[in-house]
Structure 1
Amino acid sequence: MKKILIAFFTCVTIAAQAQELYVSSDPASNVPAKSLGMRLTNKFFKMEHDGRNAFRFEPELMYGINRQLMVRVTGYMSNAMQQSTRFEGGSVYAKYRFLSQDEPHSHFRMAAYVKGSVIDNPFVPAADGQHNELNFANDELDLEGNASGVSGGIIATKLVHKLAVSGTLGYNRFTNNIKNNLTDNFSRNMMNYSLSFGYLTLPVTYKSYEQTNMNLYVEFLGKANVDNGVKGNYVDIAPAVQFIFNSTTRLDLSYRWELAGNMVRNMPNSFTVRMEHNIFNAFKHK
């Protein structure tokens, strides 16, 4: 009975905060304690250099250690940087929620995160005029299958009734990949920032955790190189629609494109499809 009650109230909590389950960024809230989440994400994009359609597949496992701390492990597989589909590497992400202010129908939360990636891909900057067999040129680095390195930052999320607003400010430090060294044409240091909005549209009236939720999102995502002599910045917009079934399974659909910027990017536009399933109270509470 105790496990059933814990699972029920966890589902209710997830349903009540569904509008902050952003697609392209993370909120300050965590995966519920002792719960296990499984994600399958596929990003589709057109390569700017040759018009080739490519993808990046990202399987993920998430675990809520306690109310304040969660971890996530991600793998990356793609045909973007090479001629054929191959495993690119992986990353580990941890988030610690250090502030929670809860009120009826609203809350404010802040969290700190850190992420590390180990990637096996080539570096071919646009600035040096060199190209590989795919005529690939790119000045954008990221930790999602493109480059090795670490990042960390702060997240703040405010929920009021059906609207959730979240902002992120982070720092990225890129390093050599497994078989390729990072050249001076790239900026080893980069700032990232985001501003995300989520709105719960369905159900109009909440009656049961078994009701299907529909959330609408719009996210603004930006990066800026900060090394001297290496210019480049951009701001993207990523609207999304999300469906949550039985408060345990979600489907995300999102399209992202560049609003403004001067960074040479080979994949500025992308379409994301994600399936996620959560097992609440997967491990016994002590």
Structure 2
Amino acid sequence: MTKLLLLGMLFLSLSCHAQELFSMTEPASNMAAGSIGFRIDNSIMDETNSSKINYHLIPEIRIGVLKKLMINANAFFSNRTKQLKREGGSIYAKYRFLSNDAVQKHFRVAAFGTMSFNNSDIHQQEINMYGHNTGFEAGMVVTQLLHKVALSSSISLAKAVDNGNNNKYVYGTKNNKAINYSLSIGKLMLPKEYSNYHQTNINLMVETLSQVNTGSGKYYLDIAPSIQLIFNSESRIDIGYRKQVSSSLLRTAPNGFFIRLEHNFFNAF
């Protein structure tokens, strides 16, 4: 009886969280405590004014340290030097400090921070701690789940410094800080009704991502629709397309496809 109850609680938890696993942003919810996840992100972007394909590969390990705390570590690889090379990595931590949970709905708020190191040349005005810049980012994220629909929004401040290998931040200290905004909407499309946790979940989502440089006032606004498949409540595949809607910032490769592969081990420690 106890085992059935625990399995039921896990199933309900996974069912509620499925449609808030966004492709481009992190929700306020965390990984389960004691779990370990492995993720591989692939970005296949069209370089501006060139026929070159800008490819970024980011493997990542994710650890649910506590119920309210998770930590991620990743490495950055790209083909900017015409061959795939490691360029750096980052550490990300998220602490969920507010939870208001009910049946098939919840409201959660978390704080997060990232420290990033990168050896690549600084080639765009956009500040990006996920594969481009050395620096740090800190912010908050709010997520509301309402049955099969999840809404999530975040705001953060990012500061870039000189990259490694003597790659200086060429845009000046006045322009090395930016505010990032995001708004994500996801909906569970299938299954219509749950019968067991082996059912494949299909989620559709649309995310908007924006940045404003605090010094220059220049900005960008992107939209990123995607489809997500979750298998056995532990593995997932995300496929989407990121499209620049408007921008006054110099950006090397704003448009292209992204693919995410992920597998999680629950009760790993």
Please state which band the TM-score falls in when normalised by the shorter chain: over 0.9
Please report how far the alpha carbon of residue 270 of structure 1 lies from its aligned counterpart in structure 2 after TM superposition: 2.0
Residue 36 (str. 1) matches residue 36 (str. 2)? yes
Please report how far the alpha carbon of residue 173 of structure 1 lies from its aligned counterpart in structure 2 after TM superposition: 0.8
Please report how far the alpha carbon of residue 183 of structure 1 lies from its aligned counterpart in structure 2 after TM superposition: 2.2
SS in structure 1 opposite 2:15? Answer: helix
Structure 1: unaligned runs, 5 residues or longer? 125-137
Aligned length: 267
Residue 265 (str. 1) matches residue 251 (str. 2)? yes
Scaled by the length of structure 2, the TM-score of the pair is: 0.95
Q: Do the aligned partners of 1:6 and 1:281 also contact (CA within 8 Å) in 2? A: no
Q: Do the aligned partners of 2:79 and 2:85 also contact (CA within 8 Å) in 1? A: yes
Runs of 4+ more than 6 Å apart = 1-5
2:230 maps to which residue?
244
Cα distance in 1 for partners of 2:6, 2:24 equals 29
Cα distance in 2 for partners of 1:144, 1:6 equals 37
Moved more, 232-241 or 44-53: 44-53
1:53 maps to which residue?
53
Fraction of identical pairs, as percent = 37
Please report how far the alpha carbon of residue 232 of structure 1 lies from its aligned counterpart in structure 2 after TM superposition: 1.7
User: Any residues of structure 2 matched to 1:20-31 within 5 Å, and which?
Assistant: 20-31=20-31
SS in structure 2 opposite 1:17? Answer: helix
> CA offsets, 1:191-244, max 9 Å, x none?
0000000000000001111100000000000011001xx342011000010000
1:108 maps to which residue?
107
Q: Structure 1's 238 and 253: CA in aligned 2 closer, same or farther, altered over 3 A?
A: same
Cα distance in 2 for partners of 1:57, 1:3 equals 40
1:280 maps to which residue?
266
Amino acid at match of 1:112: A
Q: Do the aligned partners of 2:198 and 2:233 also contact (CA within 8 Å) in 1? A: yes
Cα distance in 1 for partners of 2:247, 2:56 equals 23
Please report how far the alpha carbon of residue 15 of structure 1 lies from its aligned counterpart in structure 2 after TM superposition: 2.5
> CA offsets, 1:88-115, max 9 Å, x none?
1000000000000011221000000000
Structure 2: unaligned runs, 5 residues or longer? none
SS in structure 2 opposite 1:18? Answer: helix
Please report how far the alpha carbon of residue 269 of structure 1 lies from its aligned counterpart in structure 2 after TM superposition: 0.5
2:161 maps to which residue?
175
1:254 maps to which residue?
240
Q: Structure 1's 7 and 78: CA in aligned 2 closer, same or farther, altered over 3 A?
A: farther
